[in-house]
Amino acid sequence: MGTGISTTDFKFAGQTALFHGKVRDVYSIGQDKLVIVVTDRISAFDVVLPKPIPFKGQVLNQLAAHFLEKTADIVPNWLEAVPDPNVSVGRKAEPVKVEMVIRGCLVGHAWREYKAGKRELCGVALPDGLEEYDAFPEPIITPTTKADVGHDEDISEAYILEHGLAKPDEWRQLADYTRKLFARGQEMARARGLVLADTKYEFGTAGGKIILIDEVHTPDSSRYFYADSYDAYVGGQKDESPKQLSKEFVREWLMERGFSGQAGEKVPELTDKFINKVSERYIELYEEMAGEKFVKADTTHVMGRIETNVKNYLEKNTA
């Protein structure tokens, strides 16, 4: 299956800082450049699981680059280059401390909240009578806090403005970008026989302007269904749940074994069979979304490969 990348600790020329996120290792170069190594770590319920998923990082990195290119006409983004299958390089930005989650239908966290009796999510009223997978009349924005560690928390537009996480004009711009990006993502997904059910976007400011940062429309940030199975289910054929391509099946697998990220819970053992299944799911989504065969990078000396490719890029592109 290949060797998974658990963590990195490179020393690049001009490096000023290194931050280990849940999945990405972020290297600051000089004052205005970031080198982001997308590892094969996987998180669920905001907990990093103990074993990596081979090729997951490559899938995420290459899909993110694909969708950043396809949405650059909507909002400028941070990406400059992809010098290695697991690495992206781009502009440093000051992150907006809000994750812009947008949902097209009632699934996942939203469904769990709704099933528990809640009829409001992040300040957005939800009508009675909905069933799991039902589409909303129009997509709803349900923002969360942006936590470096621990759990993200649901917040509302009112909370964001009251606590100064965004100014009113910034919030309007963020919401507008979010809706337009989601519409583009849904359109692209349908063209590939998929349904983009929900996703999240992260933004930052650079040069006084809001730009799109992080990943876009990847299986770590988005939930996809096969369109034929989703359409059949919501059309009344409810004998089998819609087939999905996302991390939700990982969460479901963990919950079936008594883990949902709560204090005191133990992460169940991740078997080789399960790890291989997750890796295959990520590769499947890449091929479905990108419309091309996924080419596995050589992982024989993966750390040396990444280090060499990044160093060569920085030598040529850093003043």
Q: How far is CA 177 from CA 12, 79, 109, 160, 168, in A?
A: 34, 17, 23, 17, 14
Amino acid making up residue 197: A
First to last CA, the chain: 39
Distance of CA 271 to the CA centre of its chain: 24
Question: Rounded distance, CA 255 to CA 108, Å?
Answer: 13
Encode pLDDT of 56-71 as tens digits: 999 999 999 999 999 9
Domain ranges of the chain: 95-245
Q: Are 144 and 155 in contact (CB under 8 A)?
A: yes
SS (H, E, C) 143-181: CEECCCCCCCCECCHHHHHHCCCCCHHHHHHHHHHHHHH
pLDDT at position 220 is: 82
250-280: per-residue pLDDT in tens?
Answer: 888 999 999 998 989 999 999 999 999 999 9
Classify 95-245 by CATH class: alpha beta
Alpha carbon 132 to its chain centroid, in Å, reads 22
How sure is the predictor about 148, in pLDDT bands with cuts at 50, 70 and 90? Answer: low
pLDDT number for residue 19: 95
Structure tokens at 181: 């990006």
